């Protein structure tokens, strides 16, 4: 199993970007589909190994995007968020060996995210966060999503005040994202997230 480069997983307290830049996704929520994808293709994402030609165009594009995002993130200090509910989804993995790897991978990201949370002053209190979750889940904001798990993850991304929700779930979340604009948070694939960052990546070279 590959993990984040240590420089990226070190506690990062701010997204270091010039104040004159337009709004770019500096705090991104990683959907469970992306957490799984990074685990599956770690050596290509972290070490820059050439992906095998048998992979689909979408897989190769997202691998390249994540490689560049992590490389830039070593200087730009992107903040990568996950939810406690991500762990619930990880534990449903039926293959015991894969579940063990995913659990280990989850806790590595989780400890990194907790370090960030402890040093942020732009997040709501626990009581405020719970109120936001309940209001969102009780509203019509996510009614287009058939799965409660997707609704909870999106609600947590809003609670964490993320700049984008990064997912590879084309069947549900991406399929319905035009109907989710009410939450005012871009829902992006890794490739789309990198396209938002790429024009300014040289600033952190």
Alpha-carbon distance 80 to 163, whole Å?
A: 10
How many Cβ atoms from other residues are within 10 Å of residue 145's Cβ? Answer: 21
The stretch 96-102 carries a mean pLDDT of: 93
Q: Report whether 29 contacts 193 (CB < 8 A).
A: no
- For the chain, what are the domain ranges? 24-204
Burial class (CB in 10 A: 0-12, 13-18, 19+), 78: buried
Question: What are the backbone angles phi and psi of residue 79, rounded to the nearest 5°?
Answer: -105, 125
Could you read off the pLDDT of 108-122 as tens digits, one per residue? 999 989 888 888 777
Burial 148-183 (b: 16+ CB within 10 A, else e): ebbbbbbbbbbbbebbbbbbbbeebbbebbeebeeb
| Residue indicated by tokens 């897989």 | 59
Mean pLDDT of 161-186: 93
Long-range contacts, 119-126 (Cβ 8 Å, 24+): 119/11, 119/13, 120/13, 122/161, 123/159, 123/160, 123/161, 124/159, 124/161
> What 3-state DSSP class applies to 52?
coil
**Residues whose CB falls within 8 Å of the CB of residue 35, separated by 6 or more in sequence, listed in order:** 82, 86, 90, 102, 105, 106, 109
**Using one digit for the tens of pLDDT, what is the confidence trace for 21-57?**
556 778 999 999 999 999 999 899 988 889 888 999 9
pLDDT at 13 (0 to 100): 34
List the structure tokens of 190.
Answer: 């890794």
* Predicted structure pTM score: 0.86
- Angstrom distances, CA of residue 45 to CA of 11, 49, 51, 71, 204: 21, 8, 9, 9, 19
């Amino acid at each position: 199993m590959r993990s984040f480069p240590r420089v990226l997983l070190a506690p990062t307290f701010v997204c270091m970007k010039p104040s004159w830049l337009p709004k770019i996704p500096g705090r991104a929520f990683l959907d469970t589909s992306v957490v799984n994808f990074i685990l599956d293709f770690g050596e290509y994402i972290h070490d820059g190994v050439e992906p095998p030609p048998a992979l689909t165009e979408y897989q190769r594009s997202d691998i390249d995007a994540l490689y560049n995002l992590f490389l830039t993130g070593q200087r730009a200090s992107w903040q990568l968020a996950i939810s406690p509910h991500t762990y619930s989804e990880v534990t449903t993995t039926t293959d015991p060996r894969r579940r063990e790897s995913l659990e280990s991978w989850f806790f590595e990201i989780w400890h990194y995210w907790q370090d960030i949370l402890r040093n942020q002053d732009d997040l709501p209190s626990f009581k405020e966060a719970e109120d936001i979750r309940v209001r969102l889940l009780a509203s019509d904001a996510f009614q287009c999503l058939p799965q409660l798990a997707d609704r909870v993850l999106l609600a947590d991304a809003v609670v964490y005040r993320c700049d984008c929700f990064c997912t590879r779930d084309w069947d549900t979340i991406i399929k319905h994202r035009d109907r989710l604009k009410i939450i005012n948070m871009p829902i992006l694939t890794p490739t789309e997230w990198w396209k938002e960052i790429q024009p300014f990546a040289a600033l952190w070279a």
